[in-house]
Amino acid sequence: MDGSLLVLLLLSGLFWSNSALSRPYHYINVRMSWPEAQSYCRERFTDLATVDSMGDVNRLVNIVDAGYSGSVWIGLKKGTQKRWGWSNGENTSSQYYNWGSAQPNGDGDCAAIYSDVWHDILCSYKQYFVCYETSGYILVQSAKNWSDAQSYCRQHHTDLPTIHNSEQNNQITKILLSGYYIWIGLFLDSWEWSDKWILFFRHWAAGQPSMSSESGDCVGMSTTDSGRWSQYSCDLQQPFICNGDDKLIKKQIIRLKLSCNGKYTLNDPSLQTTILNEISEKLKSMGLESDRKLSWRKREDEEVFHLESNRTANSNNKCNRQ
């Protein structure tokens, strides 16, 4: 912007509008512990980020500043109870089960089909597995642990299968190999979202979550490993991501007062775009803009800027109107 234009930020003139089609996310480039980040998000937004799908994971990765390559807090934390959930995020409340006799018996936290019924076994065991996609179920005859099988299905198909009824269970058992344990999408989970959201979508890094009691009870998302999640001590200081509308700047109005030397037409759309870009860059440098968009607020005459009527000045200090 030319130095002859002096922008004074007061109050009223621009308004913010949501650009996110679903849950709004906000990257906060301030290092805090998980509890501090949770308090910040609850005070200013809704809560620490809750994630429902790979689409959400990609959105989180994309809003983190390009220059940062560490981990960021999300809203997942270790809970006090274990619950069965499906890899695609569904919970198992009032849903179909097909456990074998005396199953689950506490042998492990992941489920596999054997002889048409379900068994709980150690997630670290390497087994064949089934993936699903819109065309049906696919048996993958490559032995992987449960987490690696999940990653493979998400990369090449959709996910490990969710089984809602006996018909789906029978469709899967028809393609299985006799005498083999075959992974399905059911797993036992002790993690919960800060906002108490009930979905079970998880995107753990290799070897996570750890069984070690010293691994930490709070979850951070990597900005480099395809957005995968790992455990950390809740006292670790790192940036974080909130979700929800901003309670402090939602529909915030800012008035702009400009002066120029008479060579500019302030209601020229191209000049207004230039001004918006300058303001946007300044807000980003101050950490005040995330996924929101700046727009001009026009009055009934479709003009943004109006000359002050109570000010006297010679023509050299006035800006032209369009």
Provide the CB-side half-sphere exposure for 160 (13 A, CA).
30
15 token code pair: 């308004």
pLDDT at position 319 is 56
End-to-end CA distance of the chain: 19
What the chain holds in terms of domains, given with CATH numbers, is: 6-19+250-317 (no CATH), 25-243 (3.10.100.10)
pLDDT tens-digit map of 221-247: 999 999 999 999 999 999 999 999 887
Which stretches in the chain have pLDDT values below 50?
1-21, 311-315, 317, 321-322
Tell me if 176 sits within 8 A of 161, measured CB to CB: no
pLDDT tens-digit map of 10-54: 222 232 222 334 789 999 999 999 999 999 999 999 999 999 989
> What is the C-alpha to C-alpha distance for residues 175 and 187, in angstroms, rounded to an integer?
21
> What is the C-alpha to C-alpha distance for residues 113 and 125, in angstroms, rounded to an integer?
13
Surface-to-core class of residue 67, CB atoms within 10 Å of its CB (0-12 exposed, 13-18 middle, 19+ buried): exposed
Any bridge partners for residue 6, and if so which?
259
Phi-psi region of 85 (alpha: psi -120 to 50; beta: other; left: phi over 0): beta
Q: Which residues are CB-contacts of 45 (< 8 A; sequence separation ≥ 6)?
A: 24, 26, 242, 243, 244, 245, 246, 247
> What is the C-alpha to C-alpha distance for residues 314 and 11, in angstroms, rounded to an integer?
27
Q: How many CB atoms lie within 10 A of CB 28?
A: 20
Say which DSSP state 160 is in.
S
Say which DSSP state 56 is in.
H
